Amino acid sequence: IGRHPTPQAGPEGVPGVARIVAIGSGKGGVGKSTVSSNLAVALAKQGRRVGLLDADIYGPSQPRMMGVNQRPASPDGKTIIPLRAHGVTMMSIGLMTDPGKAIVWRGPMLMGALQQMLTQVEWGELDVLLVDLPPGTGDVQLTLCQKTHLTGAIVVSTPQDVALIDARKAIDMFNTLKTPILGLVENMSTYICPQCGHEAHLFGHGGVKKEAETIGAPFLCSLPIDLDTRLAGDTGTPIAAGDGPIADAYATLAKRLID
């Protein structure tokens, strides 16, 4: 009896979800989660059906940034009902674990948790599902890119060299895994003094745009260092939920992502 090769599992989509977009960074603390939550809210304000999956297993910040803390219900013990906040359907590993407890998991457990969040959560019909990745190029990123049919990835970086060096590694990983780079976002690019209006480039200037030109990827936007952005994230109502220049910048970013 001839042996048939085992069929290889190809990347899969999530039923009902039109686009899955990963948001990654090389370094932590550059604002990847802030950009993810604000972009999600901006998309929802434009009438898009949007989901946000916080896959930052080691430092899930979306519950706090989106202002939710209930444990999602699972009436049948199999499927998980996601939460809703600011018009966004959301789920975070941080909602399924004890707050304040560190998650110490090996690769296979991480991958299991990620798959569970993609396939067992009742996402419903979505125009786009944003996935807030952990920083770096580890197991979670690898599993997501290989097992899930991604529309592409957005890479967030500050203009600082140490952040850019790591962002290049993330870009390289997405290229290796054949995940299209949808574009680069520069966060914390300038600081405008609220007292005198002087503009300072605390982390350098223009580095992310230059990088986008070098790799031939779209430069999506630059976002300033802004106290209100930080406060809004800390209090659970992303700045994009309100009005003003930063909310406008996120609205433009949302339009660029889905037009």
Q: Extract the tokens encoding 131.
A: 């996935």
Ligand-binding annotation for 27, yes or no, is yes
From candidates 32, 45, 48, 49, binder to ligand ADP by CB under 6 A: 32
Is residue 33 close enough to count as binding ligand ADP by CB under 6 A?
yes
The DSSP string of 167-233 is HHHHHHHHHHTT--EEEEEEEEEEEE-TTT--EE-TT-SSHHHHHHHHHT--EEEEEEE-HHHHHHH
Is residue 39 close enough to count as binding ligand ADP by CB under 6 A?
no
Please, what is the minimum distance in Å from the beta carbon of residue 208 to ligand ADP? 13
200 phi, psi to nearest 5 deg:
-120, 145
Is residue 93 close enough to count as binding ligand ADP by CB under 6 A?
no
Specify the residue, 225 or 251, whose C-beta has the smaller distance to ligand ADP.
225
58 phi, psi to nearest 5 deg:
-85, -20
From candidates 226, 238, 251, 254, binder to ligand ADP by CB under 6 A: 226
105 exposure class (CB count in 10 Å sphere: 0-12, 13-18, 19+): middle
Please, what is the minimum distance in Å from the beta carbon of residue 138 to ligand ADP? 14
From candidates 71, 84, 230, 255, binder to ligand ADP by CB under 6 A: 230
Specify the residue, 128 or 232, whose C-beta has the smaller distance to ligand ADP.
232
Give the bridge partners for 90, in sequence order. 52, 83
- Is 184:218 a contact under the CB 8 Å cutoff? yes
CA distances from 157 to 140, 164, 204 (A): 19, 6, 12
Specify the residue, 139 or 226, whose C-beta has the smaller distance to ligand ADP.
226
Specify the residue, 39 or 49, whose C-beta has the smaller distance to ligand ADP.
39
Ligand-binding annotation for 112, yes or no, is no
From candidates 83, 114, 131, 225, binder to ligand ADP by CB under 6 A: 225
Ligand-binding annotation for 28, yes or no, is yes
Specify the residue, 49 or 135, whose C-beta has the smaller distance to ligand ADP.
135
CA distance 7 to 221: 42
Is residue 28 close enough to count as binding ligand ADP by CB under 6 A?
yes
Residues 6+ apart with CB under 8 A from 150: 11, 20, 21, 22, 144, 179, 180
Is residue 178 close enough to count as binding ligand ADP by CB under 6 A?
no
Is residue 29 close enough to count as binding ligand ADP by CB under 6 A?
yes
**List of residues contacting ligand ADP (CB under 6 A):** 25, 28-34, 61, 187-188, 223, 225-226, 229-230, 233
